[in-house]
Structure 1
């Protein structure tokens, strides 16, 4: 093992020397520039890569923001970063100057993501990205117009039944629920839900700072394949994922030809478009099939962990804050009585929406923010920003600015419900939500804003309201000590999109009658849902 480590370091030396020379040349070039953003001290060659934690990096960025202000500079090897923790600054750079700051940085351990066609959210802005984004925007908008064709409510009835029968597996069922909704929308195949979640998790691992070490020590990526486990794993992962997407795409195409593919799927929408263009056979060259299968596949995949993480944090929040659980349940009981809540109850359940909105602020699913990259040289507040600089609007810091979020470290849903709080908006039949209003930066900025606000709004609302309608959540009690089993609310997988690490809570049906209704709903939908 020692010999292998020495070999890896030896092979990495040329790349490290190249980085050092490049950095020295950069210093000489910028020596005459006096205006600079504040920031932590930068060290030769490494910048601050040596003390940047691979896990919970957002906490370090928040610490530096408290010390250096709402915009500061740092560097990891030869990659410059500008970290922003002020909404107005982020809007000025990422929205008003979106024509400059809408690139995506290279994620070293994720192959070909900038070129496409596999990951539209991570591509540079080029024709492939524009075509896919336009198509996905229209497809998502049409599905939202029909409130996702009832798939959310049907899958929720299945979820509640599973939770009643085996509550200990609530974390697995939560991610699978999200995967099943997206796979039904994509290909009408909810059986792919679990695979969908696993595939999303593997992808996030490869694109995260906490993932392969080659995302931080990038020279290691260029080691020869026979001593490069990170490269070999990514080759395998990407090949398997794209083959899975393509297989589902072709199965859906065969169903379209037979006439039994539902018209509420994104695959149907794509094939119908081909027919309108005169392609009755639906035959396509391999590169066009790859383009379309990746477009639908990624739209399907990205909707899993982006939603399952917040839902897992919501369950945690309700278990830890029984006073808010009771307020939400009282509201649900008054509005819904003995029927499971549905999206039609949205306007009448503001407390449920406030608890969800506060969950995403309190434990952001994307605490670092998704990085933007300067596509050309620019100047801001007299400071030159070079092409290639990564701009991070750090969500963890943005969500704790005292002027907008008083008592920001604590879970306070009332900030969305009571006049006098900076985030309060009327009418409560409309606000808070995930489509508009305060704190929409959770979904990104400018031209790279996430397209998923609508499905997040529908899916999280139905999940939260239905779960609280059926169950009481609380800390699990240790049978030996009689004490509550502690929950670490900041223990996460540290991916760029978070899920909490496994935790334990008590989940008990609220009454015998609610249990009967849950099982009744479960059997009702299981007649039409494939397992």
Structure 2
């Protein structure tokens, strides 16, 4: 039996190698008058995979960009990946030529690709949700998140991810009970779609072998069937609620009430449209909240600035949607979190539908196109001192990123992290609302500080706090005192005098990127703020830090608000769908992640 298995795998590998060689040779045929895009040479069959580190591979792609140019290509296991290093080039190629750059890349590890592309439906439900301020779900769930952080601060990742998943569940199906299951569906799908996740994405020939021979393929089939059943269960529950006239407004209810309007051909198409948009939100929105914690621990000077603004605008309550125009620094912190540590650092990938030409270079059909967000967000002309976390770059007129009016800007809407052209993320407004309320609520209640016992890296690239941020007076922060602001008022305290407020505060700190004597390309090797997950969605790995309430009065208020919501029935317990241990050993249930 073992010999038969070995022969089967060997034969499959040989066929795969021959097929890849023929395929690569065909793609290497350059039309007359055009040149091949530059890029690393790589190795036969596997291409440059051995040269890309599993950890923070996006930094390697950025370094190759400095060597090979603003548009270059890399062969990864026979797949041609094209990397775009600047925002201008990404817009020129992917937006202006949207017809041929809008295809969705194939993911080899997916047995069935149920990632729906029903954009008309998504546009409608997102727009309707925004009109009603997302039913106040972020504000409702922020109170539960804060209580969980008070009770178990070490489980901050769980609380923040649950905050996002509960909001998304409410929007998708009207209730929050499926939040843990939605998080698990998101985790498992993330493994499948990540190049560094499933082995099937690197050794694609394994997909042609039977499940019993390839555990990863059997795992994916179970994941797929569990996902399908979960979406069916959630749709059936909304249908039952509608029959009994007690269904809250939700994306699923909108679908069920308007099936013919959106052009769905069968019921499960709508179920997948709702479910996959829910999964997409659960995958990404929590990452910037976790990045916020990381940033405040290493750049504590900005937490005082943020708290000053929140106290002035919100007073003795949590932030609300209506506060958005009066919270420019909160919006700047959020925008900087996405720039400094983008949740999708390799960019949202597209597939090229037909051959194209760029500045005399040939780009073959089927290439996977990446606007490399890590590089785009580090353009030194647009983002001076790009390695530093600096939200002031969004609210101080001397920076190239400054934009008026400050009642509207800065904003994450239509930022490069959400993609280009016809593949622009449609959940931007949901992310914007979740981050404003989530991050604002955490800063309103808590002080965040690094745990000195956990810092073992003495390298100079690890930021060292050399003064007590608590001693920075609110008056020196340069923020205006009024809740209703204008551009002139905010700028007055920040801009005019030399040295600026920013200079005075930042002179008391050192931070990643602040030392010009250290080569930028090597800083990530010892940078404690770059300990990120290895999957497509990059988020900080859990680290220990101090999360302490600012004062006892705020704690009492939060607990009272949560108790009032509990009495109204706002906070239901999560539900298990597959039995004991989430279906361990059964046909449906949670897979190992």
1:152 and 2:138 matched: yes
Say whether the 8 Å CA contact 2:355–2:364 is kept in structure 1. Answer: yes
Specify the alignment match of 2:21 in structure 1.
Answer: 20
Give per-residue Cα distances to partners, 1:352-395, cap 9 Å, x unaligned: 11111101100000000121111112222122222111111110
Specify the alignment match of 1:269 in structure 2.
Answer: 254
Task: Give the TM-score normalised by structure 2.
Answer: 0.81
Using the TM superposition, give the Cα deviation of residue 108 of structure 1 relative to its aligned residue in structure 2, in angstroms: 0.5
Specify the alignment match of 1:451 in structure 2.
Answer: 426
1:497 and 2:537 matched: yes
Using the TM superposition, give the Cα deviation of residue 464 of structure 1 relative to its aligned residue in structure 2, in angstroms: 1.2
Specify the alignment match of 1:125 in structure 2.
Answer: none
Say whether the 8 Å CA contact 1:473–1:505 is kept in structure 2. Answer: yes
Specify the alignment match of 1:464 in structure 2.
Answer: 439
Using the TM superposition, give the Cα deviation of residue 197 of structure 1 relative to its aligned residue in structure 2, in angstroms: 1.0
| Aligned equivalents of 2:288, 2:124: Cα separation in 1 | 25
Runs of 4+ aligned residues of structure 1 deviating over 6 Å after TM superposition are 2-7, 483-487
Say whether the 8 Å CA contact 1:55–1:209 is kept in structure 2. Answer: no
* Alignment match of 2:115 (pick from 97, 116, 119): 119
Using the TM superposition, give the Cα deviation of residue 433 of structure 1 relative to its aligned residue in structure 2, in angstroms: 1.1
Using the TM superposition, give the Cα deviation of residue 323 of structure 1 relative to its aligned residue in structure 2, in angstroms: 0.6
Specify the alignment match of 1:195 in structure 2.
Answer: 181
Using the TM superposition, give the Cα deviation of residue 305 of structure 1 relative to its aligned residue in structure 2, in angstroms: 2.1
3-state secondary structure, aligned to 2:258 = helix
Using the TM superposition, give the Cα deviation of residue 334 of structure 1 relative to its aligned residue in structure 2, in angstroms: 1.1
| Aligned equivalents of 1:275, 1:445: Cα separation in 2 | 29
| Aligned equivalents of 2:158, 2:394: Cα separation in 1 | 30
3-state secondary structure, aligned to 1:99 = helix
| Aligned equivalents of 2:81, 2:455: Cα separation in 1 | 50
| Aligned equivalents of 1:312, 1:66: Cα separation in 2 | 30
Say whether the 8 Å CA contact 1:12–1:223 is kept in structure 2. Answer: no
| Aligned equivalents of 1:163, 1:230: Cα separation in 2 | 36
1:384 and 2:380 matched: no
3-state secondary structure, aligned to 1:164 = helix
* Alignment match of 1:309 (pick from 260, 281, 287): 287
3-state secondary structure, aligned to 2:112 = coil
Q: Are the structure 2 counterparts of residues 5 and 412 from structure 1 closer, same or farther at C-alpha, using a change threshold of 3 Å? A: farther
3-state secondary structure, aligned to 2:357 = strand
After TM superposition, the structure 1 stretch with the greater mean CA deviation from structure 2, 491-500 or 312-321, is 491-500
Give the 5 Å matches for 1:422-433: 422-433=400-411
Give per-residue Cα distances to partners, 1:472-507, cap 9 Å, x unaligned: 1111243999x9999932222222122222211111
| Aligned equivalents of 2:100, 2:25: Cα separation in 1 | 26
3-state secondary structure, aligned to 2:387 = coil
Specify the alignment match of 2:517 in structure 1.
Answer: none
Give the 5 Å matches for 1:286-435: 288-435=266-413
3-state secondary structure, aligned to 1:451 = coil
3-state secondary structure, aligned to 1:391 = strand
Q: Are the structure 2 counterparts of residues 259 and 209 from structure 1 closer, same or farther at C-alpha, using a change threshold of 3 Å? A: same
Say whether the 8 Å CA contact 2:187–2:283 is kept in structure 1. Answer: yes
1:41 and 2:41 matched: yes
Say whether the 8 Å CA contact 1:303–1:452 is kept in structure 2. Answer: yes
3-state secondary structure, aligned to 2:369 = strand
1:259 and 2:212 matched: no
| Aligned equivalents of 1:479, 1:211: Cα separation in 2 | 29
| Aligned equivalents of 1:367, 1:74: Cα separation in 2 | 17
Using the TM superposition, give the Cα deviation of residue 157 of structure 1 relative to its aligned residue in structure 2, in angstroms: 0.9
Give per-residue Cα distances to partners, 1:96-145, cap 9 Å, x unaligned: 000011111211012222xxxx212xxxxxxxx3xx21011110111001
Q: Are the structure 2 counterparts of residues 359 and 9 from structure 1 closer, same or farther at C-alpha, using a change threshold of 3 Å? A: farther
Specify the alignment match of 2:584 in structure 1.
Answer: none
| Aligned equivalents of 2:544, 2:205: Cα separation in 1 | 40
3-state secondary structure, aligned to 1:40 = coil
* Alignment match of 1:523 (pick from 563, 572, 577): 563
| Aligned equivalents of 2:452, 2:53: Cα separation in 1 | 34
| Aligned equivalents of 2:6, 2:188: Cα separation in 1 | 25
| Aligned equivalents of 1:256, 1:31: Cα separation in 2 | 59
Using the TM superposition, give the Cα deviation of residue 33 of structure 1 relative to its aligned residue in structure 2, in angstroms: 5.7
1:514 and 2:515 matched: no
1:178 and 2:164 matched: yes
1:247 and 2:233 matched: yes
After TM superposition, the structure 1 stretch with the greater mean CA deviation from structure 2, 249-258 or 162-171, is 162-171
Specify the alignment match of 1:124 in structure 2.
Answer: none
Specify the alignment match of 1:143 in structure 2.
Answer: 129
* Alignment match of 1:224 (pick from 203, 210, 227): 210
3-state secondary structure, aligned to 2:530 = coil
Specify the alignment match of 1:68 in structure 2.
Answer: 68
Using the TM superposition, give the Cα deviation of residue 37 of structure 1 relative to its aligned residue in structure 2, in angstroms: 2.3
After TM superposition, the structure 1 stretch with the greater mean CA deviation from structure 2, 472-481 or 244-253, is 472-481
1:92 and 2:78 matched: no
| Aligned equivalents of 1:467, 1:26: Cα separation in 2 | 51
Specify the alignment match of 2:579 in structure 1.
Answer: none
3-state secondary structure, aligned to 1:190 = coil
Q: Are the structure 2 counterparts of residues 325 and 75 from structure 1 closer, same or farther at C-alpha, using a change threshold of 3 Å? A: same
